[in-house]
Amino acid sequence: MREDFSASLLARPDLADLVPYEPHGWEPGLIKLDANENPYDFPAEVLADLFAGVKGQTFNRYPDPLAGELRADLARYVGARPEEVLVGNGSDELILNLFLAFATGGSVAIATPTFSMYGVHARIAGAVPVAVPRRAGDFGVDTPAHISCARSPQVRVTVLCSPNNPTGNSTPPEEVAELAAAARGLVVVDEAYGEFGGRSCLPLLADHPNLVVLKSFSKSFGLAGLRVGYLVAWPDVVAQLLKVKQPFNVNSFSQMAARAVLRHLPLFCERIAAIRREREALRAAMAEIPGVTVYPSEANFLLFRTPLPAEQVHQGLVRRGVLVRLLDGPDLPGHLRVTVGRPEENRVFLAALREVLAAGDGPAQ
């Protein structure tokens, strides 16, 4: 065995302290309310439609590198031209590509607290992530602070998540327009949860060539397992992204699945409406539990905190068969996030949360 080789010495020194993203573990039997997934099984009729389109050469040939048919369908869905749409292997790939194409050697301004992968992808792309804290209390974007930051020549990309993960609140398009008008670089609005609430920034694209809107099939459309995301931007932005995009980044089956979803939009819209109703019912029920603070949300999850330490509540819920997301970090000390599940799942979560708080928290009986 060679002793003169060390991967850590060969690796990029600027990533030495980067901690890889590790999703929380999940065990069968737990009600999974930690990852903001769509809780409903993929519809049988859409599956039948999807598999009817699978041909003998669906899997042994490379996929369409530009996802042309899906691109055209998405353009019709969002009211854009196909050349203004780019499809990715989930929104994560598109975020990384945006930073690779536009931010390497510069900075990325990020409205925090928010999705942790923005900072990770910025560092991987060789950019410096710069946190611009949201307002205390309502987690709104500090627009003046963002404008001041975005005017710096070093800030190549500014990122906002709306509705924001994990706080659930949206940024008004008027504030985004103000920021895009002032920014030297790109302004990226991640609307992964946009179908659940808030006002889309897509109409702003006509007047702001430096605006990019990210969308996803993972949340509202139930395709988290197949990884399909897309963005809408001016054609010259898309042209730059094509320089760093992997040639066959979205597999044929995922492209077909996303197209099947768009053919059955009314069914998914019904499910989205059901999740929104459950979100409000769940929030009202949580607000009635003594000591629980639950925040308004326009996404498919709720941010909350309790008088007990967050880790203690998290483990107490796991012992009672429910997995939520622990967010007990410097940005959100003492907080947790629960995904809106099916009605029966939400009832189990509520009962478990009441038990944990009443027990203070001892072992489940």
Q: How far apart are CA 186 and CA 194, in angstroms?
A: 20
pLDDT on residue 361: 62
- Are the C-beta atoms of residues 300 and 196 closer than 8 Å to each other? yes
- Are the C-beta atoms of residues 180 and 109 closer than 8 Å to each other? no
C-alpha 332 chain-centroid distance: 18
Q: Which residues contact 302 (CB under 8 A, 6 or more apart)?
A: 168, 279, 282, 283, 286, 294, 295, 337, 338, 340
The DSSP-derived string for 55-77 is -TTTTTSPPPTT-HHHHHHHHHH
Determine the average pLDDT of the residues in 20-34: 79
Q: At what angle do helices 265-287 and 252-263 cross, to 10 degrees?
A: 80
Determine the average pLDDT of the residues in 69-80: 97
Q: Which residues contact 20 (CB under 8 A, 6 or more apart)?
A: none
pLDDT on residue 272: 97
Q: Which residues pair with 335 in a beta bridge?
A: 305
pLDDT on residue 23: 66
pLDDT, tens digit, 9 for 90 and up, residues 130-159: 999 999 889 999 999 999 999 999 999 999
Measuring CA to CA, how many Å separate 218 from each of 91, 192, 195, 354? Answer: 9, 8, 11, 30
Determine the average pLDDT of the residues in 80-84: 97
pLDDT on residue 21: 74
Strands 155-161 and 211-216: unpaired
Answer whether residue 364 shows pLDDT above 50: no
Average pLDDT, rounded, for the chain: 94
pLDDT on residue 365: 42
Q: Is 339 left (phi over 0), alpha (psi -120 to 50) or beta?
A: beta
Answer whether residue 260 shows pLDDT above 50: yes
Answer whether residue 362 shows pLDDT above 70: no
Determine the average pLDDT of the residues in 300-307: 97
Superfamily name with CATH number, domain 7-42+266-359: Aspartate Aminotransferase, domain 1 (3.90.1150.10)
pLDDT, tens digit, 9 for 90 and up, residues 150-185: 999 999 999 999 999 999 999 999 999 999 999 999
Range list of β-strands (E), 30-127 = 31-32, 85-88, 107-112
Determine the average pLDDT of the residues in 354-365: 75
Determine the average pLDDT of the residues in 253-261: 97
What residue type is assigned to position 270 of the chain? E
Q: How far apart are CA 117 and CA 113, in angstroms?
A: 11
Fold (topology level) of 47-264: Aspartate Aminotransferase; domain 2 (3.40.640)
C-alpha 72 chain-centroid distance: 23
Q: Token digits for 141?
A: 């974007």
| Matching residue, tokens 């065990």 | 27
What is the domain partition of the chain in residue ranges?
7-42+266-359, 47-264
| pLDDT range class, residue 105, cuts 50, 70, 90 | very high
- Are the C-beta atoms of residues 338 and 314 closer than 8 Å to each other? no
Answer whether residue 2 shows pLDDT above 80: no
